[in-house]
Structure 1
Amino acid sequence: MAGNPERRAALVDAGIEVLAREGARGLTFRAVDAEAGVPVGTASNYFASRDDLLRQIDGRLHRRLAPDPEVLGDLMTAPRDRSLVAALMHDLMSRATGDRTGYLALLELRLEATRRPELRASYTESVRGDLEFGMRFHREAGLPGGDETVAVLYLAMLGLWVDHLTLPGVLDGALPGVSVPEGLVELIVGAVVPEG
């Protein structure tokens, strides 16, 4: 396997673009090479298999879509209440809309994991790790609610991402006077996170 880390990262990012645009069926080494603007055969020198590429895409997406430490640090100076949880969820939604391609690629990974047991195992571990991290972060930060609160927020926000990123207009006007996605984030947090 080739060892140039910058080229590998560029190929993985190209794979994310292809995955988001074409779906898992369109994710071929040739398509990744074309997206990255490198000679045909380059991706096959960097990844042992398509599954290897998918696992590396998963890892890259989780790093790429992680919160900005400075933004998170600024947010965490606020009182530990429902409004801070709302601010954290707004940041999460902002990252999802700011890197729509990345989140669409994550959704494609979910779909592909239903068909590929090896990917399902590694992707389940990755997503479960994120959920457990979120629960631990919530507890350690002293935010209102417990693990159940985080689990319900996760499910509600995932549903919002799916609708907003795949069918952006489906929620527009569904609840008069509620903006999409900002107002929906507030509704979710208000319904899920206890006061105090």
Structure 2
Amino acid sequence: MGRRYDPERRQRIIDAAIRVVARDGVAGLSHRRVAAEADVPLGSTSYHFASRDDLLVAALGQVSDEWLATVERWVEAVDPDLPLGEEVVRFVTDSLSGDRTRARLEYELYLAALHHPGLRPIAAGCLDALTELLRRRTGDAARARALTVLLDGLMLQLLLTDRPVVPAEVRALVDGLAAPV
């Protein structure tokens, strides 16, 4: 009996890799764990992804695309009559309220680029895309870049410390970007 073609297998493997990283961290990612999670033969993972880094690139690429789609929806929904600080508070609160598993996964993969050069273009592209989305909202490239740095650092610190989002602090940080030095 010949092999059946499974057009969804590659995607199932990527989804499984994302679940493995969410559960076990980047250090826990292996072809064997991904194959077990995806319920596919071990050879399927190495057929579609020759190396562990290839699995990481695919996982980060998908997570990055999904995150940017979320950010784009947020930017499109921003109320131009509200101060940007209010909208940033909403974004950070929505991103980090309740279960932070998804946000931890996003940062786990993003920070993996420090040790995996193949991930760096995806991580950099994600930051550039975020900056461009914010530039469209603010009309100012420098302020958009500063907001990107602020959001990135703030969310990472809140994840690392497991502290709650304090809206007044977020608002003050965003407002501080507009204040003269």
Aligned length: 175
* Distance in 2 (alpha carbons) for counterparts of 1:64 and 1:124: 13
Q: Which residue of 2 aligns with 1:129?
A: 128
Q: Which residue of 1 aligns with 2:70?
A: 67
Q: CA RMSD in A?
A: 3.1
State which of 12, 15, 18 in structure 1 corresponds to 2:14: 12
More helix by share: 2
Aligned partners of 1:24 and 1:108 also within 8 Å? yes
Residue 27 (structure 1) shift? 0.8
Aligned partners of 2:71 and 2:130 also within 8 Å? no
TM (normalized to structure 2)? 0.74
Q: Which residue of 1 aligns with 2:80?
A: 79
Q: Unaligned stretches of 5+ in structure 2?
A: none
Q: Could you report, residue by residue, the CA deviation over 1:118-146 in whole angstroms, capped at 9, with x for unpaired residues?
A: 333x23442343244224422xxxx3x62
Identity, % of aligned positions? 31
Q: Which residue of 2 aligns with 1:23?
A: 25
Q: Which residue of 1 aligns with 2:44?
A: 42
Aligned partners of 1:18 and 1:35 also within 8 Å? yes
Aligned partners of 1:90 and 1:185 also within 8 Å? no
Q: Could you report, residue by residue, the CA deviation over 1:86-105 in whole angstroms, capped at 9, with x for unpaired residues?
A: 32552354135577333323
TM (normalized to structure 1)? 0.70
* Distance in 1 (alpha carbons) for counterparts of 2:59 and 2:171: 31
Q: Could you report, residue by residue, the CA deviation over 1:59-83 in whole angstroms, capped at 9, with x for unpaired residues?
A: 211222222776654x24x335524
* Distance in 2 (alpha carbons) for counterparts of 1:55 and 1:29: 14
